[in-house]
Structure formats: C-alpha cells, structure tokens
Chain A
C-alpha cells in the first residue's frame, strides 16, 4: 500500500511536468506543423534562467515568473529569424533546423554554466516534507501535483474561452481551414511558438528544485514528451494531458515491477498504443 501511494505520487508529479512540456510541443506542432527538437532545450533554459535570476534576487518565485518570459522572448526571436523561413519546406529540413538550434543551445549552456550539476532549493514554504505512512515525502512534489491540474484548467480555460485560445485551437485542429480564413498571419505563428517556449521554460523552472539542473536535462525530457505527444495524438491538448499521466504513472510503477527493462517501458507503451490506434489516443485520422 505504501509503495503504491509513493509510486502514485511520483508518477503524478513527473506526469505533470511532462504535461507542461508536451502541451507546448503539441500546440506548436498542431498550429505550425513543426515538431520542435529544441523544445527540451527551452525547458533546460527555463531551469538555467531561473538559477541565474535567483543569484540576483534570491527568490525562487521571481525566477519562476521571469525565467519563462525570457525563454519565450528567445523563442520569439528564433521563430522570427529562423523558423519562419522553412514552413513550406520538407519535414526533413524543419527537423534538422530545430536540431541545429538544439545543438547550439545545449552547447552554449555547457559553455556558459559548465557541464556540471547545479542544485536549486525550493522556496522555504515548500521545502519541508510530509509524512506519508512511514516515509517522508517532499512538499514540493505535492505542490507540482496540485499545480499540474491548476495549470491544465487555466490552459483549458484559455483555449476554450478566450479569443486567442480559440484561434489557436482552430488552427491546431485544421490547419488548412485556418489558412483558408487567413489565420496564418506570421504573428500568430511567432506568438504560438513563443507561447510553447514559455510553457517549456515554465516546466524547466518548476522542475529545477527536483531535477538536477544540467545540460543533459533537455535531451532526457524531449524524447519522453515526444512519446507523450505521439501516444496522445499529435496536436491534441487532452491527448497531451492523458498521455503525460499515462507515461508518468507507467514509468513510476515500472520501477518496482520490472527492473532491467524499466527504461524501455515508455517505448513499449508507444508501440502498443500505436499498434492499437496508429494516430494516438486523441489523434484525428490523417488524410
């Protein structure tokens, strides 16, 4: 029972982080048709920016608010200068370009902050731990578990009740139609990309107290959020939420059940879901 609860908590908190990353990835893909390899690097930058800001203000909260904004601005600039040149081109070039951005960002971080690990302490109010049966469990993870659904609800409200959100959803679900009504204005693309980067940066800043902040953190999460996006259905918002939960929980429970092939579990989940439903859980049929 105790093991079960701990696994559940771990799975939920990791799932919520995955969700934050994946929802940005899936929105960008849905709207712009670009699968962003560098998305994980923006996540990593969120953590590093947070680290840097905390040096000056010594407040996690300021870092949490400001770091994602900087990431979003960087994303906006990258979209304006690079990505907008290749929308009409073959998938291969889009992937390669975002891969190039990944290489540059990851190596720049290594160059600026060094290859080693950094640790960020959670703010005092969240730094304690709670007794779960006989174990003490960090409060910060509870914070993530609660925050995840809150963010999900806010995003859901944004997508369903605001005009900007509705436009994004319309474009994401049917790009051709969106092009027909003239929604492919360059600004929409830039803003959506910046928004995706903001979400990634937010995820990175939020993850910084529980994950070690290192140059490799982006590479680790990008593959998993790819999987989330594929199993949830590319471009699907609820798909990203459910997919992230499934992956988070399966990974967390997998640690006990199967030792050695534990790391292969996400890929097995991917294979099984795609066999049963090739377009992902919430994916539309590809024309």
Chain B
C-alpha cells in the first residue's frame, strides 16, 4: 500500500511539468530544493535532536561554489556538483568540529554564529563573491549527458535535473536513517547520556551527522543556484536558516517526509498570501504562533498521532 502510494507520487512528480504551467513548474522546483534542504537539516533536528541555526551557511557555500565555478568557465555540471560537495563537506567538518561539543541552545547559538561568519564573507569579499549584489550566472548551465547537451535554462529540463538529484539525495538520507547509524542517531536524540554510557562517542557521532547534513545542504544550494541563476548573500543569512526549521516543524520533524511536505505547505501559503498582501512576514509570524504553541510535534506529526490514537482505540 505504502509502496504503491510512493510509486504514484513519483509518477506524479515525473509528469508534473507536462501537465502544469511554467509558473507552477518553477514553484515545484523550489519546493523540491527547499524540501530537500529541510530534509537534510532535519537529519540533525528531528533525528539527532540538534538544532542548527546556521545551515543556510552550507546551503550558501554550495550555491557560491556553483556560481563561482560557472563564472570561471567550468562547464561540466557534474564536476561542479562534485566540487560543491567537497567544499561544503570541508566547511561542515570544520564548523561541526568546533560546534558538536555544545548542547541545545548553545549549539544553536554557535552554529548561528558560524553561519553568519560565512554570510559576512559572502557579503564582504566583493572581488570574489560580488558582495551584496550577489553573483549572477553569466554562463548558461549546460548538462552534458552522454554527449547530449541539455540546457538547464529550460524550466522543464531544470525540473528533471533537480528531480533526479533530489531523488538520489533523499535515497541517501533514507538509507542512513534505516542503517545502524540511523538508530544510533535516534538514541542520541532520546538520551545522549545513556548512549554515552552504552559506549557511544557523542562528539564523533554528532560530527558525522553534522557533516552529512551540511554536505547535503550544500547540494541543495548547488541546485538553488541553478534555479535562481545566481548566488546572493541572502542564501546564507540566519533568517534563511530559519526556513528549514519552519518547514520541518510545519510538516513534522519526526516524519521522514515531513520537511518536504512542510516545504510544500510553506510555498503554497506564501503564494496564497502574496496574492493579497506584501506583508507575508507578518502572516508567517502569526501563523507560527499557534503552530509552536498547539502542535508540539509539528502539524503532520500531531495529526498523525491523533489518527494513530483513534485507530488504536478502535481496534
């Protein structure tokens, strides 16, 4: 039943650009990228119990690596992706190493600090990053697939490219949470002390989780750079780091697909509200208040729990 559902969902995503307008294809791309970003982030928040408030930093590092390489005439997208992965991996290891000994709010603070450090670098190192204006893509990104050249300027092509990369990324996350390491992460979320007294090295486990999460966020940034045809310092700002947090909470951090669903809800709301007013932030704030107060497990998580209780009491 579940497999059929997932199969149908994949089918739907495959044919989406054929049945929808270009406008909605663009929104679908954004949802896929941001949802994937939120899912990578949620490996830390939902599965490991660590709230990083600097994940936009890694996202931005992926985006800037892509923009800079494209500007300097690199034309193999796969090579660029590989380099983006390596660069965000290095950043994650270094920042992770400095952060993982902290707990809870302290962890959130220090990751926020390092994320903003990356932001200021992007913002101030004008020669290299274009400063506050950002770095537009000068060259058309072209995918070279078995000798066939596919331009990613076309929304449909970009959609499929994004879909494939995100699909692989989600598969990796899925593998990880179902591996022994995945259970260890949940154990750390539940009771890190007990894990430590069962032989788990907390700092090292956290560093691995942080690195995986940060690197995949960099991949999301790579895609986002292609999508928006530029990289700007905004991608690294701490208010951008709040997005995956909000999406995860909206969709439910304890559910694997929750953050992706949260991203879809987020963009649907944004589109809807922006039809009427420019003050989207006020509405987001007003919306967040009942969510944080009334839905301790996120919107989907709470509904899911409620349904489960109903089901259990019936049977």
A267 and B116: CB pair below 8 A? yes
List the A side residues contacting B272 at CB < 8 Å: none
B108 and A91: CB pair below 8 A? yes
Q: Which of B110, B123, B245 contacts A96 (CB 8 A)?
A: B245
B117 and A264: CB pair below 8 A? yes
B117 and A82: CB pair below 8 A? no
Is A89 interfacial (CB-CB < 8 Å)? yes
Distance in angstroms from B300 CB to nearest chain A CB is 16
B112 and A226: CB pair below 8 A? yes
B282 and A263: CB pair below 8 A? no
Of residues B51, B104, B109, which shows the largest number of chain A Cβ atoms within 10 Å of its Cβ? B109
A268 and B117: CB pair below 8 A? yes
Interchain CA distance A267-B108 in the complex, whole Å? 14
Is A86 interfacial (CB-CB < 8 Å)? yes
A223 and B282: CB pair below 8 A? no
* Minimum CB distance partner of B99 in chain A: A274
* Minimum CB distance partner of A104 in chain B: B285
List the A side residues contacting B238 at CB < 8 Å: 223
Which residues from 35 to 68 on chain A have a C-beta closer than 8 Å to any C-beta of chain B?
A: 35
Main secondary structure on B side of the interface with A: helix
Is B138 interfacial (CB-CB < 8 Å)? no
Of residues A95, A227, A268, A275, which shows the largest number of chain B Cβ atoms within 10 Å of its Cβ? A95
Which residues in B have some Cβ–Cβ distance to A below 8 Å?
45, 51, 53, 98, 101-106, 108-110, 112-114, 116-117, 120-121, 123-126, 238-239, 242, 245-246, 249, 253, 279, 281-282, 284-289, 291-293, 296
Q: Which of A35, A82, A90, A275 contacts B289 (CB 8 A)?
A: A82
A86 and B45: CB pair below 8 A? no
Nearest 4 interchain pairs by C-beta: A103-B285, A267-B117, A100-B288, A104-B285
Interchain CA distance A89-B124 in the complex, whole Å? 38
A111 and B279: CB pair below 8 A? yes
Interchain CA distance A258-B101 in the complex, whole Å? 30
Interchain CA distance A268-B102 in the complex, whole Å? 17
* Minimum CB distance partner of B280 in chain A: A107
